[in-house]
Structure 1
């Protein structure tokens, strides 16, 4: 990790939303939101299309007015301030560069509007260009650049103002897979170097998991979970989070408890539990342990198809009327037959309420099948 560059380090500000709501007519997009983004952290706002994440971003930037509640940026109440008064800079999905201007002039434009001298502008632009690998392109126009280079120009235009808050609205969506990977690395490095509070909106879980200090997962304008990537992956707070994070997604199976044992819908026992009623059992594909032969300690399922991806293999199999996916690592022996046997390690099981979808802790007792 590189040290923060003192020449471009900014005074990061925390962002707090107190009871923020947003409605369009009678349609609530964000019913009520109470959340704080910590100063200097890289926070990713993640969720499916239409969940309210871009609206949230635009309300912080001042491009959308809040319908209710309060936005604090640092120590200032900001919901009624104009965008230029908030100390934020925003990078959009479509770059929004001036096509008739050179890279230098695109990056320097906000400094020029602010009244900075030509000499001062040159120093700052050259510093940012060097950081982003754009020095040799300063004399070119956007039409002469690749998509990745144009995105870096847009980022440069944002950070040259030394904002306390950097906002990214799905900035990598227009890039191909390899370029998205490379730009993710550049963004992570950039954040470490400048130290600004960064809020990054995306629907891509890979971007979220690789970039974020913490992830805010939205569902229909409400917070499903707000935590570190590791916690969200290994301890999802709901079925929605469990299925949204992970590729392939977590397997979720209906189970019922009689006060002593949890059983699948076909009656097979999974684990001892004191719970009664209907629940949803979750286990990630990579946590299922394939075994060579069947027996009292294992489940069995018919394989519908397999995907050999080189680094790992994904099996789709039928268990208790539900299709589950099993991921096996490179080099492991996967039986080449229609029926496979496997176990569910108890420490890897998750249980969720059948109605609310919320995670239930302390649900399991001893294992009824040998799963450790």
Structure 2
């Protein structure tokens, strides 16, 4: 009998998109020409708001949507004209897509039965996957007799039993409650380490992205805003869009004006020394702002949330909203606060393009 580890272990394949585009007509371009590579064995999360093209991208890789142009190369082989079953991918859907009249064992083993895998081998592989996903006691049950988390594990089991080189996940946790989402994130992370397939996971949930991904690809209107490790994206956002999309609460983005030697807020307060002139956008994370009685920046408290471990203080600075995350107590509504904005924690963005200005506050 095959052992657990040898029964389920994928040969990871790289995925390359070269000039891939998707358009329904000249006015409906969902994905402008895109060039991107997903490394073998990597867990990539595609993150973005609703309508940004992330599910369309996944479905083009899977073969459920035809590309309008360009090439999709999986494991060194062009696949954009191949049927889904010939691409070496397996997909897990948001709605589970289980056969209600089949048992758990029959659902997981269905693709093997269609492929002509002998019954004995099929049973061994179903048993191995069931042990892996904690489903051994549920093999004779129908989907209607399972919880949401158990049904999602069956859907994952049905995908990995084929031993694919590529696993595709289309918002698989969005129908689960908060605790189950957390538990499934842990299970998916462990699953990825054990089977080694190249995984592409689509979500609009930044917590899933930051906790699961080796790298996060952030999409905005079908275009790649940034593609990097979660910590890099959080600490060094490439654009205002990324800065505001990642983080809870998100990065503060404030309008400032450069006079050739310094950046100032609309009320004349000094934000930071900087040699540029003209309008800019200044970014700083709420947790990087210091409550400092000697601080040079003055603002007014508008609202405060006490979250136990820390507080979120919403203030008004030169007519703009500024959020502060701190473990220390803040003043009551209407009080004035003095702040320091550490230079090494500031980010400067071009006011026209929204892109970061690299090295704007680098030490000299």
For Structure 1 versus Structure 2, the TM-score category normalised by the shorter chain is over 0.9
Confirm or deny that 1:16 pairs with 2:11: no
Residues 132-166 of structure 1 show CA distances to partners (whole Å, capped at 9, x for unaligned) of 00000001000000000000000000000000000
Residue in structure 2 matched with residue 196 of structure 1 by the alignment:
197
CA contact (8 A) 1:274 1:363 kept: no
The 2-side partners of 1:6 and 1:340 are apart by 61
Determine the structure 2 residue equivalent to 1:86: 87
Change (3 A) 1:326 1:115: same
Partner of 1:144: 145
Alignment match of 1:314 (pick from 312, 315, 318) = 312
* Residue 335 (structure 1) shift: 3.7
Q: TM-score, normalised by structure 2?
A: 0.96
1:359 aligns with 2:356: yes
Asked whether the 8 Å contact 2:88–2:166 carries over to 1, the reply is yes
CA RMSD of aligned residues (A): 1.4
Q: Is structure 2 residue 337 aligned with structure 1 residue 340?
A: yes
1:36 and 1:140 map into 2 onto residues whose CA distance is 40
> Within 5 Å, which residues of 2 pair with 1:49-198?
49-198=50-199
Provide, for residues 286-315 of structure 1, a one-character-per-residue CA deviation record: whole Å limited to 9, x for no partner.
111112x3x4x3312111111111121111
Distance in 2 (alpha carbons) for counterparts of 1:265 and 1:186: 49
* C-alpha distance in structure 2 between counterparts of 1:198 and 1:365, whole Å: 36
Distance in 1 between residues matched to 2:23 and 2:67, nearest whole Å: 8
The answer on whether the counterparts of 1:91 and 1:158 sit within 8 Å (CA) in structure 2 is yes
Report the alpha carbon displacement of residue 341 of structure 1 after superposing the two structures with TM.
1.8
**1:271·1:365 contact (CA, 8 Å) conserved in 2?**
no
Q: Tell me the distance in 2 between the aligned counterparts of 1:324 and 1:20.
A: 40
Contiguous gaps of at least 5 residues in structure 1: 368-372
8 Å contact from structure 1 (residues 91, 155) kept in 2: yes
8 Å Cα contact 2:103/2:142 also seen in 1: yes
CA contact (8 A) 1:108 1:121 kept: yes
Q: Does the residue aligned with 1:156 lie in a helix, a strand or coil?
A: helix
Provide the C-alpha distance between the structure 2 equivalents of 1:183 and 1:108, rounded to a whole number of angstroms.
Answer: 22
Cα offsets for 1:207-262 (capped at 9, x unmatched): 00000000000000000000000100000000000000000010000011111111
Matched position secondary structure for 1:57:
helix
Structure 2, unmatched stretches of 5+, are none
Alpha-carbon distance, 1:270 to partner: 1.4
SS of residue matched to 1:310: coil
1:72-117 deviation digits (Å, cap 9, x = unpaired): 0011000000000000000000000000000000000000000001
* CA positional deviation for 1:336: 4.3
Question: Per-residue deviation at 1:366?
Answer: 7.7
Residue in structure 2 matched with residue 224 of structure 1 by the alignment:
225
Give the match for residue 370 of structure 1.
Answer: none
Distance 1:224 1:68 in 2: 21
> In 1, Cα distance between the equivalents of 2:359 and 2:264?
17
Q: How far apart are 1:362 and its partner, in Å?
A: 2.3
SS in 2 for 1:359: coil
Q: Does structure 2 retain, via aligned residues, the 8 Å contact 1:42–1:198?
A: yes
**How far is the alpha carbon of 1:323 from its aligned partner?**
0.8
**Divergent runs of 4+, >6 A:** none
Deviations 1:32-86 (A, max 9, x none): 1100000000000000000000000000000000000000001100000000000
Aligned to 1:299: 297
Q: Does 1:5 align with 2:5?
A: yes
